[in-house]
């Protein structure tokens, strides 16, 4: 197949303003969400994992149950359960108590 580019679970992108840090989640544009697999300066190509299970920051004062939909708050750079103003990025695969700093999330495809 001549038009096949790559599997899509890892995308090669140019690092946005401020660059990226390995292990940190990023929302690129309105519809690409993932975790940087390497650190890169602005404009330098890096690998962004767009599928898989990751432990990411969440709103501390929030209890999360397995199966809860999780949204990325790009202002506070954390996950929560609030759809309004945020981007759906995954589903919780482990419970997280209030208070706690992180939650395990299965990333899902987003399209803005």
Q: Answer yes or no: is pLDDT of 111 > 60.
A: no
Cα(20)–Cα(111) distance, integer angstroms: 21
Q: Identify the band that residue 6 occupies on the pLDDT scale cut at 50, 70 and 90.
A: confident
Q: Answer yes or no: is pLDDT of 109 > 80.
A: no
DSSP sequence for 21-89: -TT-EEEETTTEEEEESS-B-TTSEEEEE-SSEEEEEB-SS--B-TT-EEEEETTTTEEES--TTSEEE
pLDDT at 112: 46
Q: Is 60 left (phi over 0), alpha (psi -120 to 50) or beta?
A: alpha
Of 3-7, 54-58, 91-95, 104-108, least confident by mean pLDDT is: 3-7
pLDDT in tens, 31-85: 899 999 999 999 999 999 999 999 999 999 999 999 999 999 999 999 999 999 9
């Amino acid at each position: 197949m001549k038009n096949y580019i790559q599997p899509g679970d890892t995308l090669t992108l140019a690092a946005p303003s401020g660059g990226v840090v390995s292990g940190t989640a990023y929302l690129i544009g309105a519809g690409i969400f993932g975790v940087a697999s390497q650190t890169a300066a602005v404009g330098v190509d890096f690998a962004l994992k767009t599928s898989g299970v990751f432990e990411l920051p969440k709103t501390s004062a929030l209890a999360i149950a397995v199966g809860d939909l999780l949204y990325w708050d790009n202002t506070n750079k954390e996950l929560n359960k609030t759809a309004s103003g945020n981007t759906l990025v995954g589903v919780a695969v482990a419970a997280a108590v209030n208070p706690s700093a992180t939650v395990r999330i299965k990333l899902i495809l987003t399209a803005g």
